[in-house]
Structure 1
Amino acid sequence: MPKIHFVNSNKTFDVPENSNILRMSLRYDGELPNLCGGGICGTCVFKPVEGAEHLDDTKRQEQRKLGEEWLEKGYRLGCQTFVKDGDVSVAWDLEITKQVKRRKPDKLKKSPSAVK
């Protein structure tokens, strides 16, 4: 069973595989900031300190809200991120949260259709 360590609150919890970071924070009082729960507001932005390889791939909503700048720095949205199969430590910075919350979502280009 994977563990999530919430660095800022110094709390660690055993969670089932494929658990959502934000949902587990809400269930066990991990204290990850949150507001909308849908990838729109950016309040639950965090950075994996350890175990990023145990997280699922970024979602479209994360790509829109965070953009390349924040994704390249390793940031994720707790409401969109799931722990796959190993331990992870997550931390957040309220100054980064403010910046992400103010950021307007990118309009993503549609992928070109496969030519047959």
Structure 2
Amino acid sequence: MPSIHFLTSGKTIEVQPDANLLRTSIRYEGSVPFKCGGGLCGTCRVRIVDGQENLSKVMKKELDRLGNESIDQGYRLACQTFIAGDVTIAWDVADLERRNKIAQRRIANSTQ
């Protein structure tokens, strides 16, 4: 079974193949930050430290939120990413407050 190592929170979890990264984090307290869970806000942005080849293809929502440069640097949206093999991820805790403010604006704008 594939495993996800949440480097920032120090947790490692074994998962079924094709498990969603954010849902797994929520279910097993991996601590990936999130607001919407649907690719709108970008709060669940994580950096793939190891195992990029074991992830689903990049989704359009990820391209829209992150851009090619961030994706090329190894960033993904956990809510849009599925696991096919072992992966290690991390996220920037210091940047979280800024991303939360941006997320709140994006969510508010999407409901208007």
Q: TM-score with structure 1 length normalisation?
A: 0.81
Larger Rg computed on CA atoms: 1
- Which deviations, in whole Å up to 9, do the C-alpha atoms of 1:7-40 show, x marking residues without a partner? 0110001100000000000000000001100011
Aligned counterparts of 1:67 and 1:101: Cα–Cα separation in 2 = 19
Aligned length: 104
Deviation at 1:96, TM superposition (A): 4.6
Aligned counterparts of 2:81 and 2:59: Cα–Cα separation in 1 = 8
Task: Within 5 Å, give how 1:7-86 maps onto structure 2.
Answer: 7-84=7-84, 86=85
More helix by share: 2
Specify whether residues 99 and 72 from structure 1 end up closer, same or farther in structure 2 by C-alpha distance, changes over 3 A only.
Answer: farther
- Which deviations, in whole Å up to 9, do the C-alpha atoms of 1:21-76 show, x marking residues without a partner? 00000000000001100011111000111111100110010010101221121100
Aligned counterparts of 1:37 and 1:12: Cα–Cα separation in 2 = 21
Runs (4 or more) in structure 1 with deviation over 4 Å come to: none
Which residue number in structure 1 is paired with residue 109 of structure 2? none
Which residue number in structure 2 is paired with residue 89 of structure 1? 88
Q: TM-score with structure 2 length normalisation?
A: 0.84
Which residue number in structure 2 is paired with residue 114 of structure 1? none
Root mean square deviation of aligned Cα: 2.1
Instruction: Give, as a single letter, the amino acid of the residue that structure 2 aligns with 1:94.
Output: V
What percent identity do the matched residue pairs reach? 47
Gaps of 5+ in 1: 106-116
Q: More displaced, 68-77 or 25-34? A: 68-77
